[in-house]
Structure 1
Amino acid sequence: MKLRLPLFLEGDPGVGKTALATHVAAIMGIEPIRLQCYAGIDRAQAVYEWNFAKQLLHMRAEGNGTSVYTEEFLIARPILRAVRQQPSVLLIDEIDRADDEFEAFLLEMLEGRTLSIPDYRTIEIVEPPFVTLTSNGTREVHSALKRRCLYHWIDHPTSEREADIIRANVRELADGKLADDIARVVAELRTMPLTRAPGVAESIAFARAAVALQRNTVEEALEPALGLLVKQREDQELVSRRFRMGST
């Protein structure tokens, strides 16, 4: 944080990238402003939009002589909100879902310290927000954007660490060995050729289900709650064979 560089967090889905970014904001005592990326997102959707209904009503009432591109009609989207709020934490989630053009815009903003809004004005970023970008690695993010950031790969935690995380989030498992057993089984699942390996979020959800279903062992909870760990039919069949679920 002292370096004032954007933080680029990359790793498999569910390893806790967003949670880490949120925790950084909590350390700073700030509620993070989140921008969820998706295919086709552009500058306007991330920065601002105009209140067209209000603009139309204004033009009908006042005529065409007055400008409708003023602060009164501007709706701030996440990036503009983060620039205006000082200090602020901006979480740009799943940047790998966006396209090259949006990456180029982010790079321009991070390097130029300005934010241009057509028909309005160019805003100087006096104190830039602390920016955290996350990527699931579904596609390669441009190296120019990564070079501008402090890069950190987040791997799945060790079984011991994951058991501690489960205990911290599922207080009913604070004592006993069920949290350790869940972490061990999840670690085994991650060695299998699954379409998508379960992340920490899935481990916690499975642990909560085991408590709710009053199952005392992982094996007892696997069959009714397998869908919380693996989300593809083929993966579920593979896991069922590995753990001989449904066999007598």
Structure 2
Amino acid sequence: MESPEELASGLDRAGYLPDGGIATAAFLAVAMGRPLFLEGEPGTGKTSLALALAKTLGVPLIRLQCHEGIDATQALYDWDYPRQLMHLRVLETRGEVDEASLYTRRFLLARPLLQALENAPCVLLVDEIDRADDEFEAFLLEVLSENAVSIPEFGEIRASTPPLTVLTSNRTREVHDALKRRCLYHWLEHPSLEREVAILRRTLPGLDERLAVQVAEAVQKMRGLDLLKPPGVAESLDWARALQALGRTEPDVATLGAVLKYREDADRVIGSTIVG
């Protein structure tokens, strides 16, 4: 890709409608070989951008879903102990016990980070890094800095081509500056009304334009109500699909379960008269 505009066109063909800021940040991450740190509210398209980047660049996507308590073993590698034990028993029957043969590549279970190092070029998606703890952040920073890992029983594995790493955060907690400094940073806002309408119509080709505008307008207003969980683009799409499935010509209260996930939010929206 020679420019942000060319990358934007590729993302568009992959089904992702970027604005200028997103296209520029993604282009620089590719051109500079730097990780891209995407932060924003849930539903702003962070994960979708990583998926579209992989499709646009024609490389595999490898995803590491972070969660509370995730550690290096879950993210990097583990040994296939049952197979090692079977192998050891076979060796014992032959009188050829060789412990070194237990730690060869065929017994190594590659988790997402190791898969990315071995299969680069690829897009490595580290999803919701804010859900992991400080120790995992420090470990991840080391891997991203070196693009290599050292396995005591096996040796070093280094990426011939560094993966394009995309990290996402919903900002449930602050991620440490050391990790952010290693990355290019972009904050993703919810899309504008025009862009959200375009996303709805692109993803749901049969959606009536008037209904797409009504859904987008209602969702935009909901985001200004200080809800427990403001709806993202995924919820807009679900709502539009639900209305399509029911043959509705405009949003209604009966379908709010497709876009709102808390009773308090539904009550607040109904009380606001955003939806009749």
Check whether TM > 0.5: yes
Task: Tell me by how many angstroms 1:240 deviates.
Answer: 1.8
1:138 alignment partner, SS class: coil
Residue 28 of structure 1 corresponds to which residue in structure 2?
Answer: 57
Which structure 2 residues correspond to residues 175-186 of structure 1 after superposition, within 5 A?
A: 175-186=208-219
How much does 1:119 deviate?
2.0
**In the alignment, is the contact (CA less than 8 A) between 1:25 and 1:89 conserved in 2?**
yes
CA gap of 1:118–1:95, structure 2 versus 1, over 3 A, is same
Q: CA deviation at 1:203?
A: 0.2
Aligned match of 1:123: 157
Paired with 1:7 and 1:209, the residues of 2 have a C-alpha distance of: 34
Aligned-partner Cα distance in 2 for 1:210–1:125: 47
Q: Where has structure 1 moved over 2 Å in runs of 4 or more?
A: 63-67, 243-246
**Structure 1 pair 156–73 and aligned structure 2 pair: CA distance change class (3 A):** same
How many angstroms apart in 1 are the aligned matches of 2:197 and 2:44?
Answer: 14
- Unmatched runs of 5 consecutive residues or more in structure 2: 1-29
2:254 to 211, 220, 224: 224
Normalised TM-score (structure 1): 0.93
* Preserved contact between residue 115 and residue 125 of structure 1 (Cα < 8 Å): no
Q: Distance in 1 between matches of 2:189 and 2:106?
A: 46
Alpha-carbon distance between aligned partners in 2 of 1:77 and 1:116, rounded to the nearest angstrom: 14
Instruction: Tell me the equivalent position of 1:109.
Output: 143
Query: Secondary structure in 1 aligned to 2:248?
Result: coil
> Is 1:61 matched up with 2:90?
yes
- Contact kept, 8 Å, 2:120 with 2:160, in 1: the verdict is no
Residue type of the partner of 1:94?
A: E
1:164 matched to 2:198: yes
Looking at structure 1, the residues matched to 201 and 209 of structure 2 have their Cα atoms a distance apart, in angstroms, of 10
The answer for the alignment partner of 1:238 in structure 2 is 268
Task: Report if aligned partners of 2:117, 2:158 keep a CA contact under 8 Å in 1.
Answer: no
Letter in 2 for 1:99: D
Q: Secondary structure at the match of 1:186?
A: helix
State yes or no: 1:213 paired with 2:243.
Answer: no
For 1:15-55, what per-residue CA distance to the aligned partner results, in whole angstroms no more than 9, with x for missing partners? 11001111111111112111111111111111111111101
Native 8 Å contact 2:117 2:147 kept in 1: no
The separation in 2 between residues aligned to 1:16 and 1:187, in whole angstroms, is: 15
Higher helix share: 2
**Aligned equivalents of 1:212 and 1:55: distance in 2?**
52
CA contact (8 A) 1:33 1:89 kept: yes
**TM superposition shift of 1:245:** 6.9
Cα distance in 1 for residues equivalent to 2:133 and 2:193: 36
Structure 1 match to 2:167 = 133
Partner of 1:87: 121
Gaps of 5+ in 1: none
Cα separation, 1, equivalents of 2:211 and 2:256? 16
Pair 1:171–1:244, CA change in 2 (3 A): closer
How does 1:144-155 map onto structure 2 within 5 Å? 144-155=178-189
- SS of corresponding position for 1:172: coil
1:86 counterpart letter in structure 2? A
